[in-house]
Amino acid sequence: MSAHLPPSQADDALPLAIELHAGRRRWLQALRTLWPFLALALVSWLGWRELSGLDLHALHNITRNLNDVNLIGLELLAVLAVLVMCGYDLLLSRWLAIGLPGRQVLRYAWPACTLANLLGLSGMAGSGVRYLALSREGVSGRTIAVYAGVQLLAVPVGLGGLCAAALVIAMRQATTLPLPQSLPQLALAAFAVYVPAFYLFTGSGTLHRRFFHELPTLTAGLRLKLIAISCAEWALALVVLGAALALAGVRPDPEELLVAYALAATAGIASQVPGGLGVMDGTLLVILGRLGYAQEGVLAGVLLFRLSYYLVPALLGLAIGARLFVPDENLLVRVLRRAEAHPLFGVLRLPVELIGALSVRLLGYLTFLAGVVLLVSAAYPTLSERSALLHDYLPHTVVEGSHLLSVVAGVILLSLSRGIAGEVRRAYQLTLLALLAGALLSLVKGLDYEEAIYLLALAALLGTRRERFDRHAYPLLSRRNVLWLMALAGALGGYAWLGAALYGDEAWAVSLLHVAPGAHAPRFARSLLAIMVTSIGMLGWLAFSMPKPRLLRPDA
């Protein structure tokens, strides 16, 4: 009997096979799309269960009792950790003889490293920034591809080392995740294997020729240096986390901290959520909470870690790399064409396109964040030592008035952020005024110099892009506007919920005019009233200030 199908059956089988293959691809694509949301939902549910008994007043007391010296020390430690990350760039620029001075390398390395921390994308976001920066300097596409490819491969090595150490500990004692014991160990083992794999695959053997023939062979010395930088980077991140938790009153054993961080970092990367946001944090909350540490202290420590290691360095990176994050469109077109032409670097088309898209809307997001910062600061009173110093030199009415006006400035920034993203000229002018006023009010209401620095830095960044704001309006009926209105409602509702949770057991609505250094509840009531009036006024102004379309009259 012939093993071949008759021609008619073969003709029928081919479309069926193609359809089955296309169906599998669609299912895989759907799974890749849904996976980050599923992972985030699972960890959020577990974290919410851990935080079900959270005492907001205790959390408030922890943050209020922080002092400036410790916060500055924590931030300096985080800056040191990011500087170590820049070691990849200094080493690879010398290896490839790019010829840029070290200071210039650091100018693009810092934004690349901090963006990689913040956005993640398995490190591709940082490589996209490097590609833009080196393209601007005229470096060849082949050299940039090798540069970014090697850096991309080297970053996870340090995490693999941490996972190897954590695996040894986890095999001796049970982890506290509500999962089968073998799953955390398998996750740690999978990342631990990456360390020897990196060394073997980037050498001169058969594995390198088979899988990474586009990359030049790395010498043993270069591989060891890259491994050392990666291990130092991840170890310092662990130290920053431990310091942040210690400031919040949580001091886990080194072994407990190592296992918790290794599992949280692997979960964050595996989830493919940008920066592991929510997933890494939730995993830390679950593990440390089940080890018996106070929920309030763990949450405060994780928030301090996020602010010091991720957000503040990223804001500094935005200021340093402003020209990269708002590039001209001709550069983006050239870079995307070169990325398509090189097979090794084609994977970075996504982050390069992402940066190009963010170049239009990033300033709007940062403006919205500035409004959120002012509102959160208003809900949580300033640190105790700053408050005492401030009331020694300023009248209570001045401090209270600045607090109320800072809330108004926050709502205005939230309202104007859509116009900034839409490059509207009038929104640009008003936002600059609101940022400068917000910076001044932050200092007067609580000596919150961190907020003032951020607002002033954002104002300076906006000032460098003045020519981009040449529009008179943006479409009111659009999907982006609906999303912005939802975000605005969420921010204002979150402020009301936070204040009610903190001061809901006090008769705060009865004594609106009561002014005193410790009268936080009446202060919140006044700010809530100001939010309602300002938000209604801003929405009305935005609706009626949009220019009406001009009607073309027919010729007489």
Average pLDDT over residues 151-159: 87
- Asked if residue 529 belongs to a domain, the reply is yes
For the segment 466-489, the average pLDDT, to the nearest whole number, is 73
Residue 353, domain member (yes or no): no
The tens digit of pLDDT for each residue in 211-260 reads 776 777 888 899 899 999 999 999 999 999 999 999 988 999 898 899 99
> Which of 105-114, 300-309, 425-434, 477-486 is predicted with the least confidence, judged by mean pLDDT?
477-486
Is pLDDT at 417 greater than 50 in this prediction?
A: yes
In a domain, 39, yes or no: no
- Domain final position from 281, 311, 344: 344
Residue 498 pLDDT exceeds 80: no
Average pLDDT over residues 14-25: 64
Q: pLDDT tens for residues 262-274?
A: 998 888 888 777 7
**Residue 41 belongs to some domain of the structure:** no
Q: Are residues 120 and 237 in the same domain?
A: yes
Q: Mean pLDDT of all residues in the chain?
A: 76
pLDDT at residue 505, as a whole number: 57
Residue 198 or 276, more confident: 198
Statement: residue 549 has pLDDT above 90: no
Expressed as residue numbers, the domain containing 486 is: 359-544
- Let me know: does 242 contact 83? Beta carbons within 8 Å: no
Task: Using a pLDDT cut of 70, give the percent of the chain over it.
Answer: 73
Rounded Cα–Cα distance for residues 263 and 424 (Å): 45
Report, as an integer, the average pLDDT of 496-509: 66
> What pLDDT does residue 2 have?
47
Whether the predicted pLDDT of 5 surpasses 60: no
Residue at a domain's end among 344, 371, 392: 344
Q: Are residues 396 and 324 in the same domain?
A: no
Question: ∠ CA(117), CA(120), CA(121), 5° rounding?
Answer: 160
Residues 145 and 281 placed together within one structural domain of the fold: yes
Give per-residue burial for 320-330: e unless 16+ CB within 10 Å, then b. Answer: bbbbbbbbeee
Contacts of 199 (CB under 8 A, 6+ apart): 223, 227
Domain count, the chain: 2
Do 66 and 191 belong to one domain? yes
Statement to judge: residues 279 and 375 lie in one domain: no
Whether 327 and 387 map to the same domain: the answer is: no
CB atoms within 10 A of CB 95: 17
Q: What is the pLDDT of residues 105-145, one digit of tens each?
A: 888 888 888 878 877 655 566 777 777 778 777 787 778 87
Phi, psi of 512 (to 5 degrees): -60, -35
- Give burial (CB, 10 Å; 0-12/13-18/19+) of 493: exposed
Select the more confidently predicted residue: 485 or 47: 485
Q: What is the mean pLDDT of residues 326-332?
A: 49
**Three-class HEC string of 257-292:** HHHHHHHHHHHHHHHCCHHHCCHHHHHHHHHHHHCC
List all residues 6 or more positions away from 53 whose beta carbon is below 8 Å from its beta carbon.
Answer: 295
- The encoded tokens of residue 533 equal 């009036």
Residue 109: both structure tokens together: 């390395």
Cβ atoms of 111 and 358 closer than 8 Å: no
CA distances from 220 to 156, 162, 224, 399 (A): 18, 21, 6, 62
Report the pLDDT averaged over residues 339-343: 49
Q: Is residue 417, in this structure, part of any structural domain at all?
A: yes
Report the percent of the chain where pLDDT is more than 90: 10
Statement: residue 164 has pLDDT above 80: yes
More confident residue, 130 or 169: 169
Task: Please provide residue 465's backbone torsions phi and psi, each rounded to the nearest 5 degrees.
Answer: -115, 30
**Higher-scoring residue by pLDDT: 302, 172:** 302
Q: Is the pLDDT of residue 152 over 70?
A: yes
Query: Which range, 293-302, 316-325, 347-356, 421-430, is most confident?
Result: 293-302
- Looking at the predicted structure, is the pLDDT value of residue 318 above 80? no
Q: Return the top range by mean pLDDT from 6-10, 98-102, 221-225, 316-320.
A: 221-225
- With contact defined as beta carbons under 8 Å apart, do 405 and 88 qualify? no
On whether residue 28 sits in a domain, the answer given is no
Beta bridge partners of 471: 424
Do 206 and 280 reside in the same domain of the chain? yes
If pLDDT is split at 50, 70 and 90, which confidence band does 460 have? confident
How many CA atoms within 13 Å lie on the side-chain side of 438?
A: 34
- 10, with CB counted inside 10 A (0-12, 13-18, 19+), is exposed
382 or 487, which is more confident: 487
507-520 residue pLDDT tens? 555 565 666 666 66
- CA pseudo-torsion sign 312, 252, 280, 56: negative
Do 324 and 375 fall into the same domain?
A: no
Residues 412 and 452 in one domain: yes
Give the integer Cα–Cα distance in Å for 285 and 294. 10
Q: Read off the pTM.
A: 0.73
Q: What does the pLDDT read at residue 261?
A: 93
pLDDT of residue 120: 64
- Count Cα atoms within 13 angstroms, Cβ side, for 395: 3
What whole-number distance in Å separates Cα of residue 116 and Cα of residue 129? Answer: 9
Residue 448 lies in a domain: yes
Are residues 334 and 196 located together in one domain of the fold?
yes
Whether residues 533 and 492 fall in one domain: yes
Whether residue 298 is predicted with pLDDT greater than 80 in this model: the reply is yes
Helix (H), strand (E) at residue 483: helix 479-503
For the segment 478-486, the average pLDDT, to the nearest whole number, is 75
Judge whether residue 462 has pLDDT over 70.
yes
Confidence check: pLDDT of 179 > 70: no
Domain boundary among 301, 316, 344: 344
Residue 427 has pLDDT above 70, yes or no: yes
Q: Which of 124-128, 157-161, 549-553 has the highest mean pLDDT?
A: 157-161
> 211-225, 395-409, 464-478: which range is least confident on average?
464-478
CB count within 10 Å of CB 75 equals 18
Model confidence at 275, in pLDDT bands (50, 70, 90)?
Answer: confident
Q: Judge whether 256 lies within some domain.
A: yes
Q: Is the pLDDT of residue 95 over 60?
A: yes
* 331 shares its domain with 376: no
- Across the range 520-540, mean pLDDT stands at 79
State residue 185's pLDDT score.
83
